Amino acid sequence: MSYSLRYESPRHEACCWMPSHLRLFIAIDPPRETAVEAGRIIERLRRSGAEAAWVDPARMHLTLHFLGNNVDESELHGICVAMDDACRHLPPFEIAFGGVGVVPDPRNPRVVWLGVCEGQEPLGQLHAGLGERLAPLGFQPEARGYRPHFTLGRLRRGRPGDPPASQALVAEVLALAEVTAGRMRATKVALYSSRHERQGIEYDRLHAASLRGGIEAS
C-alpha cells in the first residue's frame, strides 16, 4: 500500500506546505457531547479561583502515543503503516468518559484530568499494539503505564494566597469524581501534528487508520 500524505487543517483543507520536522501524536477524537460536558466541568473548576491554564475542550484529543517534538517528515510513511497494521487487528469498541481527578495528588494538584470509565481494556490493547509496531521505528513508549485521559488544565506554580484556591479546586474535583461525560464507539485512530501559531496551537490530521478486526473487507 502506498501513502499520499497531505497536511490538513482542522477543516480538512490541504495546506500548501509541510514542515520537515513535526510534533506528532496518535489519538482518538472524542464526540461533541464529551467536549460540551468538559466545557461545563472546566467552567465549574474555573470558578474555584485556582490559577490554571485551562484547555479549549473543542480541541481535546484522547492521546494513545506521543511520538515526539521533532519527528522527521521521512518517518511519516512508517508511522502510517504501523497504525494501519495495529488497527487492522482490533474491532471498533465502546468508550465512556467520566470522573475528574488530579495528579500527582490532591495535596499538590498540578494537572486536572477527565478520565475513561469504560473501554480501558481495548484502549490498553490498542496502545500496546501501536507500541509494538512503533518501537522498531525508534518510538519508545513512556516508562509509566498508559492511563487514558483528557487534560483539562494545568495549575500554575503556587504563590502566596494560592493554597485556599487550590483547596477550593480540589473540593470541586472530589465532587466531580463520579461525573459522566458522554460515550462513543471508537472506529478510527488519527495521526496529528501540532504547531504554534499566533492564535495558539493548531492541530493538523495527517492520517486516519480504521479499526477493522472482525470486519469483513468489502
Considering only 44-53, 127-136, 160-169, 187-196, which range has the smallest mean pLDDT?
A: 160-169
pLDDT of residue 18 exceeding 80: no
Say how far apart CA 60 and CA 151 lie, in whole Å. Answer: 8
pLDDT at 151 over 60: yes
Q: Write out the catalytic residue numbers.
A: 61, 149
How many C-beta atoms surround the C-beta of residue 208 within 10 A? 16
Would you place residue 15 in the very low, low, confident or very high pLDDT band (cuts 50, 70, 90)?
very low
What confidence tens digit (pLDDT) does each residue in 28-78 have? 999 999 999 999 999 999 999 988 999 999 999 999 999 999 999 999 999
Give the domain ranges of the chain.
22-210
- CATH homologous superfamily for 22-210? Cyclic phosphodiesterase (3.90.1140.10)
Average pLDDT, the chain: 87
Chain segment 171-197, per-residue pLDDT in tens: 999 999 999 999 999 999 999 998 877
CA angle 123, 126, 131 (to 5 degrees): 125
Query: In angstroms, what CA-CA distances link 157 with 9, 50, 69, 145, 168?
Result: 34, 10, 24, 26, 16
